[in-house]
């Protein structure tokens, strides 16, 4: 994981079930391209898109995701949804965040065991990597991995046969600050860190992505068999936010430009009580009401 990586164009990658992987040295957005190609049946389920740089990377509500070249990971995986009820689609994003957080924690532990830490950097007492509901991956309170998922209805690939009905798939877009520096993001005016900063040494991005895709494919298979409950228990063990105060932002249309004004948002402050077995959040508002929150942003 800490070896020197090859040139980006030489990376050897596969998607789910050995589906093809496409490498782009520079692109506007892997997420936008995957959505458009999947919708017209030009790519198969399981396909992986990976970029070395993006010019139009974004997260939820079109918030900017800076994508400098040669430092980080920006990718999309087209997750097939066959056999998964539509009311559980949103849980796949949470499964992804939890799977990735566990992977990052394992890398952090490997760095500690390999004596990457020094007297000036006590990794053993450092914060753990965790997931802030619903799917932000943080180190302490600094974000370094963002996940954006959208349903796309795939047209069947043309075969000369009668046209089949479009099938749903999940275009899962991921941005990970791997080998960049926190100073690269000072202009964003929010807490951001990088995996290299967390573990104290550069990461081989190709090997990291191979591990993430393999772990995620296994996790999706387990989710099909057992549902989200095993991950909820793991999340509770990992979580550092249950019991703390926070703000739920519902119907949020904020961007980087108006995030402080909260334009278009309904904000409710209170206390995080727990996570339910379906992945929703149990939240006690300051007026004493208790709400089950299925979809929203959470500010800590």
Query: What is the predicted pLDDT for the residue at 236?
Result: 87
**Mean pLDDT value of segment 265-271:** 89
Instruction: Read off the pLDDT of residues 69-102 as tens digits, 9 standing for 90 and up.
Output: 899 999 999 999 998 999 999 999 999 999 999 9
92: nearest Cα among 222, 252, 233 = 222
Strands 281-285 and 266-275, by their bridges, are: antiparallel
d(CA 92, CA 219): 9
Q: Are 283 and 290 in contact (CB under 8 A)?
A: yes
DSSP 125: G
The three-state secondary structure class of 300 is coil
d(CA 149, CA 147): 7
The ranges assigned to domains in the chain are 8-236, 241-299
The answer regarding whether domain 8-236 maps to CATH 3.30.930.10 reads yes
Query: What is the predicted pLDDT for the residue at 66?
Result: 58
d(CA 96, CA 90): 10
Q: Are 186 and 177 in contact (CB under 8 A)?
A: no
Q: How confident is the model at residue 149 (pLDDT cuts 50, 70, 90)?
A: very high
d(CA 235, CA 257): 32
**Mean pLDDT value of segment 196-217:** 96
Query: What is the predicted pLDDT for the residue at 62?
Result: 47
Beta-carbon contacts of 182 under 8 Å, excluding residues fewer than 6 positions away, are 142, 192, 193, 194, 197
Query: What is the predicted pLDDT for the residue at 266?
Result: 83
d(CA 279, CA 298): 14
Instruction: Read off the pLDDT of residues 126-138 as tens digits, 9 standing for 90 and up.
Output: 678 999 998 899 9
Q: Are 241 and 271 in contact (CB under 8 A)?
A: no
User: Selecting from 3.20.20.140, 2.30.30.100, 3.40.50.300, 3.10.310.70, what CATH number does the domain 241-299 have?
Assistant: 2.30.30.100
Q: Are 144 and 198 in contact (CB under 8 A)?
A: yes
Query: Could you tell me which residue, 207 or 167, shows the higher pLDDT?
Result: 207
Give, in order, the Cα–Cα distances in Å from 85 to each of 82, 92, 223, 255: 8, 11, 12, 31
**Mean pLDDT value of segment 168-181:** 94
Query: Could you tell me which residue, 162 or 38, shows the higher pLDDT?
Result: 38
Instruction: Read off the pLDDT of residues 52-62 as tens digits, 9 standing for 90 and up.
Output: 998 865 445 44
The three-state secondary structure class of 274 is strand
The three-state secondary structure class of 245 is strand
Query: What is the predicted pLDDT for the residue at 296?
Result: 87
């Amino acid at each position: 994981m800490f070896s020197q990586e090859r040139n980006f164009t030489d990376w050897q990658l596969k998607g789910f079930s050995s589906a093809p992987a496409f490498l782009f040295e520079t692109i506007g957005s892997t997420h936008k391209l995957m959505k458009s190609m999947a919708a017209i049946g030009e790519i198969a389920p399981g396909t992986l898109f990976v970029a070395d740089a993006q010019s139009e990377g974004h997260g939820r509500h079109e918030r900017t995701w800076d994508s400098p070249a040669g430092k980080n990971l920006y990718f999309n995986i087209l997750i097939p949804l066959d056999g998964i009820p539509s009311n559980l689609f949103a849980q796949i994003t949470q499964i992804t965040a939890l799977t990735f957080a566990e992977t990052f924690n394992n890398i952090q532990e490997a760095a500690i065991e390999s004596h990457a830490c020094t007297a000036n950097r006590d990794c053993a007492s450092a914060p753990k990597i965790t997931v802030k509901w619903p799917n932000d991956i943080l180190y302490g309170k600094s974000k370094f991995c963002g996940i954006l998922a959208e349903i796309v209805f795939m047209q069947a690939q043309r075969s000369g046969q009668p046209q089949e009905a479009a099938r749903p798939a999940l275009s899962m877009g991921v941005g990970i600050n791997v080998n960049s520096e926190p100073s690269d993001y000072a202009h964003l005016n929010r807490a951001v860190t990088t995996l290299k900063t967390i573990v104290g040494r550069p990461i081989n991005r190709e090997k990291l992505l191979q591990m993430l895709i393999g772990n995620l494919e296994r996790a999706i298979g387990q989710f099909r068999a057992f549902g989200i409950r095993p991950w909820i228990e793991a999340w509770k063990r990992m979580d550092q936010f249950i019991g703390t105060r926070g703000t739920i932002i519902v119907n949020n249309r904020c961007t980087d430009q108006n995030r402080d004004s909260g334009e278009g948002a309904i904000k409710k402050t209170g206390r995080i009580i727990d996570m339910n077995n379906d992945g929703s959040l149990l939240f006690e508002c300051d007026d004493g009401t208790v709400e089950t929150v299925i979809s929203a942003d959470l500010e800590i």
